Structure 1
Amino acid sequence: MKGLYFAALLLAGALGANQGFADTLPAAPTDDTATDDAAQAPVASRDIDTRAQRRALQEAITNLESEYGAYSPVLPERLLSLGLALQSEGRHAEAAAVFKRGTHLARVSTGLYSLDQLPLLESEIASLQALGDYRAVDDRQRYLYRVQSKAPLSSAQRVRAYVQQADWQRQAFLLNMDEEPGLRLLQMWEYYRLALTEVLDQSGDTSRDLLPPLYGMLQAQYLIAGYRWPDSGDNTGNGFTSNNLRPLGNSYLRDNFNKGRAVLQAIYDLEQLHGSADPQAGARAQTLMGDWLLWHGDSEGAMAEYAKVLAELADDAAAQALYNELFAEPVPLPALDGLDVHGPLAVEGDGDILLGFNVAADGKVSDLQRLDDSGVANGLANRLMRSLRNTPFRPRFDLASGTPVATDNLVMAYDSTR
């Protein structure tokens, strides 16, 4: 595993010069105790009428306040339970207010950076997400980071915090929340890098726990590769001009291909090492290497990687399902969970924007045209068509011959209301 070890160390040190970025935005939820307890609770207790439970909690809180005052040290725990009960009823606005009050009381009772605040903050963020109040989510994530940066977290909690915060930075980027969304990509990479370094330090370079941050780093590299940094002189409105961001963007783009390959090699080495957990994970990882090459225009290299996977599948009668998953139909790239970059795809193909096209054997789109006649969302449809023209596809392959083949008359359906 020396190759993985040195690749991981290289990645871990890649952004040292930009360490300050890690202190500008929030970290992530860490404590899964409430979720774990709920999952393990007896079935009978989960069947308790939630409204009756909520009313009992509200009565208990009223009694505690009457007897011990509004700052009773046991109130935060009761408020957490009440907020979770409200969440289960879908009453997220009320739940968020209860969690916020609980966080304030926990801070007063147990200190500015106490662990008791974490489940309350995480639950409040979950309700704000459900409400679609992403500005408030961002604000609470910032506060959560301040708490976590001072709280006595375990190594596992720190890793989970970094990964979850990186996930939020990805979501904030995809939501286009900022005048300069590229800053979110720098944060996304940095938090995954910190998670990777923490796992390396605590568990070594063969731990399966390296995989989540590595896959996240791959997501970041895809987004960095596809992002257009601001032109010289543009003001982002965030205290940065393109004079600051352009050199950063150039350095990220310059190293993008090699960083992505190093991440993918580390992923492949780990998936092969732990193949007993998922015998097909190595084939998926090698397919991702082909995807990365195709994304960067190396069609010959991509086809060579795909051919290696297909050769393994052709010799395995039980691998038909994996072939169907990976190569039976053209797949738009990047093909990674968590990267919803292909527009507002319709659920089960029932959309108001229908685009028809062909995919050649080299994965390029041709003969793109709009098929629907609804006449709605023309602006969105035009943007989707421009994007689709530039989207490389992993082509369909013939398993018997191991060769890529063209696919005609494909249709992608989009829902303009999403």
Structure 2
Amino acid sequence: MINNKLTSSAPTLATLPLTAALFAGLLLGLLLITVSPKTMGELASSNTPTSAKTSTPLASYYSTLQTYETEGPYHQNSSEVLYSLGLELQKGGQHGKALKALRRAMHINRVNGGLNSFSQAPMLRSIINSQKSMVRIEPITNSYNQLLRLHTATYGKHDPRLAPLLNELGVWHLDAYQFDESDTRIDHLTSAYSLIMSALQLSEANPSSSTREQIELLRSAALVNFHVSRHQGDQWASSTDSHYSLSADGFATTNPQRTGILSGASFRRGLVCHQRIIELTAANPGASQEEKIRAQTELADWYLLFNHRTKAMIQYQQVLTKIAASDQPDALHKQLFATPRLLPAVRMEQQQSAISGLFMTAKLDISDKGWGSKVDNIEEALLPGQSPVKRKNLRYKMLDAIKGARFRPQFVDNKPADVSNVTLTLPLIH
């Protein structure tokens, strides 16, 4: 039997005095219930495909998240679990779900570590990878902007450790330039130019910067000069004019520049870059034979790109002579001259371990003078687990990249030769 005295004597909520402290506690509780973000258990449930609920390792991540949820929605360990979950989802090509997990991981990290916590950087890079796979141009630029702000908040704007990121962001603007069809697309080029030149200045001012880093930056500087030389139009532009170019904040030039003036000097600027690369590789005792010969080959490429064909052929012949006299002539010839290369050659390069990007392939014929023709079979080349983008304009973007492009020709018996039905794989987004 229930003791009525015990129950009747217990104070009810109505009979309790509402002190200021108690009232504040109740109000805080109501606010938390009202505005608290999605719990980790709910996140796991909404992101878990039916097969993932019973699969490993996804199931283990969701189970761990639900355990941490019992200790609160912002448990600091849950950020790392969500980050790992995002990476696992990326491997399966589930980039939409990966973005949700990675953004939640970043949010929890910021709650625990602060808005400028540098431990967010790997999560933000993974977000960029998924955005690239989904070809989300503006979000990618915004994410890079956020990543740059994290670095500058951590290191300041004059630290040489910023150089690789400034270079990466500059190269991204060159990729974005291909997809921007607005009147302000030139701002991508001026932003890229400012960012890469800032990176080069930081690197050159640092006595401990590596030769390879400087060479990479010089190749990027030549690449942006190539794109400027091909730009149609003669607008006034600055690298702070457009929304996209906000990612160059703090490193962009605010002085308007005439596109025609930039374009007119692009050959000379790129030539200086390639000559400097040759000097650096020659003076570097750690440079391989392949690196030295590649540097001289890319100087010949630069001449060919700007229709100085006689100088290009003289330089190519000098390179071929050095290859023949080397201790690995067959390997070097195969690497550099057995297959035509779209120029500048750095456009063709992509990290071997890349998990994101947009690759297109095409079949075409390439003449002994380095011109392409009969372009056919244009299609996406997918990375493992990657889903096709299925954008109708990708075919035209690939055609634009090939149209008017110059190729390093195939050399047979030390002479440039025509070649048919070449397969070209080009990263439109690196």
TM-score normalised to structure 2 length: 0.66
CA RMSD of aligned residues (A): 3.9
Which one is further off, 172-181 or 284-293?
172-181
* 1:313 partnered with 2:313: no
- Residue 194 of structure 1: how far off its partner (Å): 2.3
Matches within 5 A, 1:177-192: 178-192=182-196
Give the SS at the match of 1:345: strand
* 1:130 partnered with 2:133: yes
Matches within 5 A, 1:154-233: 155=159, 157-176=161-180, 178-204=182-208, 207-229=211-233
* 1:60 partnered with 2:64: yes
Contact 1:364–1:392 (CA under 8 A) maintained in structure 2: yes
Aligned to 2:267: 257
Aligned letter for 2:185?
P
Which one is further off, 245-254 or 299-308?
245-254
- Residue 275 of structure 1: how far off its partner (Å): 5.6
Contact 1:99–1:124 (CA under 8 A) maintained in structure 2: yes
Distance 2:127 2:288 in 1: 36
- Residue 204 of structure 1: how far off its partner (Å): 5.0
- Residue 369 of structure 1: how far off its partner (Å): 5.7
- Residue 138 of structure 1: how far off its partner (Å): 2.4
* 1:394 partnered with 2:402: no
Change (3 A) 1:53 1:270: same
Contact 2:86–2:99 (CA under 8 A) maintained in structure 1: yes
Aligned letter for 2:178?
L
Contact 1:327–1:397 (CA under 8 A) maintained in structure 2: yes
Contact 2:340–2:409 (CA under 8 A) maintained in structure 1: yes
Distance 2:194 2:100 in 1: 32
Change (3 A) 1:203 1:409: closer
* 1:77 partnered with 2:80: yes
**What are structure 1's unaligned runs of at least 5 residues?**
1-48, 350-354, 373-378
Distance 1:102 1:281 in 2: 41
Contact 2:234–2:258 (CA under 8 A) maintained in structure 1: no
Match of 1:300 among 291, 294, 310: 310
Larger radius of gyration: 2
- Residue 157 of structure 1: how far off its partner (Å): 4.3
Matches within 5 A, 1:334-373: 334-338=344-348, 344-346=360-362, 349=363, 356=365, 358-359=367-368, 363=369, 365=371
Contact 1:193–1:217 (CA under 8 A) maintained in structure 2: yes
Change (3 A) 1:268 1:190: same
Distance 2:233 2:294 in 1: 31
- Residue 292 of structure 1: how far off its partner (Å): 0.9
Give the SS at the match of 2:420: strand
**Structure 1 residues 32-62: Cα deviation after superposition (integer angstroms, max 9, x where no partner):** xxxxxxxxxxxxxxxxx99433333323322
Contact 2:360–2:398 (CA under 8 A) maintained in structure 1: no
Distance 2:215 2:187 in 1: 24
- Residue 102 of structure 1: how far off its partner (Å): 1.9
**What are structure 2's unaligned runs of at least 5 residues?**
1-52, 245-253, 351-358, 378-392
Distance 1:80 1:256 in 2: 43
Aligned to 1:269: 279
Give the SS at the match of 1:116: helix
- Residue 331 of structure 1: how far off its partner (Å): 4.4
Distance 1:173 1:182 in 2: 7
Aligned letter for 2:142?
D
Match of 2:92 among 89, 107, 110: 89
Aligned letter for 2:288?
D
Distance 2:344 2:217 in 1: 17
- Residue 396 of structure 1: how far off its partner (Å): 4.5
Aligned to 2:27: none
Contact 1:365–1:392 (CA under 8 A) maintained in structure 2: yes
Give the SS at the match of 1:90: coil
TM-score normalised to structure 1 length: 0.68
Contact 1:219–1:339 (CA under 8 A) maintained in structure 2: no
Distance 2:92 2:371 in 1: 46
Aligned to 2:36: none
